[in-house]
Amino acid sequence: MSDPRKAMRVTAVQIGFVLAFLFLSIRLWSLQIGRGEQYINLADRNRFRLTTVDAPRGVIYDRNGTILVRNVPSFSLSIVPASLPNDPQELDELCDRLTAILAAPIAGQSPWSWLIGTVSAAAEGDPPAIDVRKRIAEIQDQVKQGKISRYAAVPLAVNVPRDMAFIAEERHLDLPGVIVEIKPRRDYLYGPLLAHWLGYVGAIPANQVQAYLTAEGEDYEANDQVGLTGVELTFEQVLRGTKGKKHVEVDAFEREIRILATKPAQPGDNLILTLDVELQRVAEEALRARMEKVGSSSGVVIAMNPQNGEILAMVSLPTYDNNLFSGGISLADYQALVNDPLSPLLNHAIGGEYPPGSTFKIVPAAAALQEGVITPNTQLYCGGILWLPNEFMPDDPTKAQPFYCWVHSGHGTVNLAASLAYSCDIYYYQVGGGFQDFKGLGLERLTRYAREFGFGARTGIALPGEAAGLVPTERWKRENWDMNWVTGDTYNISIGQGYILSTPLQLLNAFATIANGGTLYRPQVVHQILDVDGNVVQTTHPEVIRQVPISPQNIELVRSGMRAAATWGTARLLDQSLPEIHAAGKTGTAEFPGERDKEGNLPTHAWFGAFAPYENPEIAVVVFIAGGGQGAVEGVPVAIEILRHYFQLPEPTPTPEQ
C-alpha cells in the first residue's frame, strides 16, 4: 500500500503545476490579448519613429550667377531624450564619455569649438565637462515643456570633425541615446568679404523660441537653425523651405535600419542678389589699402545703380568671418567679436551714424535754388572767416562768433558752381542761416529738404540693423541739450557738421537722387528669387520712396556743380585719372570730437560721393574713412579704383618715378 503522505505531496506538486500553468496562461492572455494592443503600441513606439526632415536651405548667388552661399554636409552628434539612461549615475557616466570624446584633440581643430552655445568660460586646460551636462539638461527641460518630442533627435554638437564622428559611431554601444547624423551646414564661400551682406544662421535665440514655435502657418521646432543677421534673416521665409516627414524603424541604439514611408522636404528658394562680388572685392581692397595708409580703423564703401536703387557693392570694415557662426561659434571667439571696440559685427554702411561734412552741401544747394534763396548766378563773398553777431548782443562786435572756411585765405566771390566745386563753407553758412541783409533758408526749410532727400529716416533696405541718422530741430536741442537753437547751429548743419548725423547709405541715396534727376529709391539687395528648378518666383522691381520737390532744372544745376568739382574743383583727381568717362562728385571732410593736432584742429572723417557717367549715370558711389583726413585726398582715390573696375578701364601706366 502506498504512502499517503507521498501521494499528498505528489498531488500538491501537480496542483502547483496546474496553478502555475493557469497563472501563466492568464498572464499571457492578459499580455497578448487583454493588453496586447497596448504593448504592441509601446513596442512600436520604441521601434518606429516619425521624424521631420529638414529642408535644404536656399542657395545665394550674386547678380552674375556666382555662388556665394551653399550647403555642405557636416557631422553632428544628437541626443534622443527617450533613449537616455534613466539612472542618474548611468547618465553621469554617459556625460563623462561624451566629454572625453568632444574634448579629444583633433588635427586642425580647437577642442569644444563645435558645442552649441554651451562652451565653458573656464580657464584654459580645465575640462569643461559641465557643458555636456548642461546641454543635456536643457534638452530634457525642453521635452518636459513640450517644446520637442522625447523621440526627436536634438543636436548636441554640430560641425563635428569626421574623426570625432567616427569615434562616436564606433562607441555607440557605450553612448545610449547618442546618434551621429549628417546635416547640412551653411558654407559662406567669401567669408569676411560678404559677412555684412549675407549674415549667418544659428540656433533660435532663447527669448524668441516661443514666437517661432507659435508663428502661424510655420513648422519651426525649438532646435532649428534660422537666419540671425543679414539676408539670411531678412529672407528667412524664402530660404528655409518646407520640412518633410520620414517614418523609420530603428534598432535599440536609435540607428535607422529601415525607411517605411517618406514625404520629401521642399527645398528653400534661391536668391540672386543685386551684388557684384568682383566689384565688392575691388572696393574692399581699395578701401582697406587706403585705411592702412592713413591709419584708419573703420571705413565704408557703397555702390548703387542710381536708376533703380540696386546695391552693387557694400563694404564695411572691420568685418568678421560668418563661417565662425555656421558651425557653432566658441565663446572665446564670440566674446572677442562682441567686445571689440571697433564693432566688427556692426554693418557701418547702414548702422553707423556720422556727420556727413561737405558732402551734405548738395542739400542746401538744391533747397536754396528751389526756394528762390539763390540763383545760379548769386554771388556771395568768402574771405576765409565770417563773424556772426551774437544774437543776444548784436551791437557788441567783441561778442561776435567766428565761422571759418576750410580755406582760411578765402575763396573770394563765389557762385553756385564754384561753391560746389571748391566746397566753400562760408557760401553755405550764408545760404543756410543767412547773413546781414541776405536771408538764408533757415532751419525749418533746411531740415525739411534734408528729410525729403532721405536724411533722418531709415531707407528701408532689406537688411537688419539700419540706423535712422539725425536731422535735429529746435525742440530736439531743448530736450537733449537744454539749450535754445541759435543761428550758429544752422550754419553748422549747412556744411554737414554740428548735430546732423547720416549713415553712409543715406548719403549715397541722396547722391543717387541728384544723379537720376530727383527720384529717391528704396535701396534693393535682392534682384530675383528662384525656385529649386531655376524658375523665377519673383523679380524685385524698383521701389520709389518719393520724388524730391526739386525742379529738374535745379537738380541739373546741382549736378553741373558736382561735375565742376570733378573737372576743376576739389575732386579734379577724378577727371584726371578717368578721362574716359565723365564723372561728377563732391568731397567732404567732417570734424568729430577727439584730440586736436598741433594747429588745434580736430580729427576729421574723409568722405567722397560720386556718380558716372554724368550724362546717364549707371553707378553712384560713397566712400567713408573714419578719421581718414580729407575726403579730396583719401576718399577720391578709392572711388577711382571702383569706377575704373566698373567701367573696365585700363590701369594707368606707371611713370619712371613710380
CATH fold, domain 57-273, is: Penicillin-binding protein 2a (Domain 2) (3.90.1310)
Contacts of 409 (CB under 8 A, 6+ apart): 384
Q: Name the residue type at position 314.
A: M
Q: Write down the residue that cell numbers 582715390 correspond to.
A: 637
Architecture of domain 277-646: 3-Layer(aba) Sandwich (3.40)
pLDDT in tens, 604-655: 999 999 999 999 999 999 999 999 999 999 999 999 999 999 999 988 766 5
Angle, helices 425-433/487-494, rounded to nearest 10 degrees: 130
Longest dimension (CA), the chain: 151
- What is the per-residue pLDDT for 309? 97
- What is the per-residue pLDDT for 36? 52
- What is the per-residue pLDDT for 656? 54
Q: Where are the domains of the chain?
A: 57-273, 277-646
Q: What is the DSSP string of 53-83?
A: EPPPPPPEE-TTS-EEEEEEEEEEEEE-GGG
Cα dihedral sign, 504-509-512-518: negative
- What is the per-residue pLDDT for 150? 78
| β 270-273/60-61 pair status | parallel
- What is the per-residue pLDDT for 108? 45
- What is the per-residue pLDDT for 151? 75
The span from the CA of 43 to the CA of 66, in Å, is 51
- What is the per-residue pLDDT for 52? 73
> What CA–CA distances, in Å, run from 549 to 36, 44, 441, 561?
81, 72, 15, 19
- What is the per-residue pLDDT for 129? 35
pLDDT in tens, 460-475: 999 999 999 999 999 9
- What is the per-residue pLDDT for 655? 56
pLDDT in tens, 577-612: 999 999 999 999 999 888 887 777 889 999 999 999
The span from the CA of 639 to the CA of 583, in Å, is 11
Low-confidence ranges of the chain (pLDDT < 50): 1, 39, 42, 107-130, 658
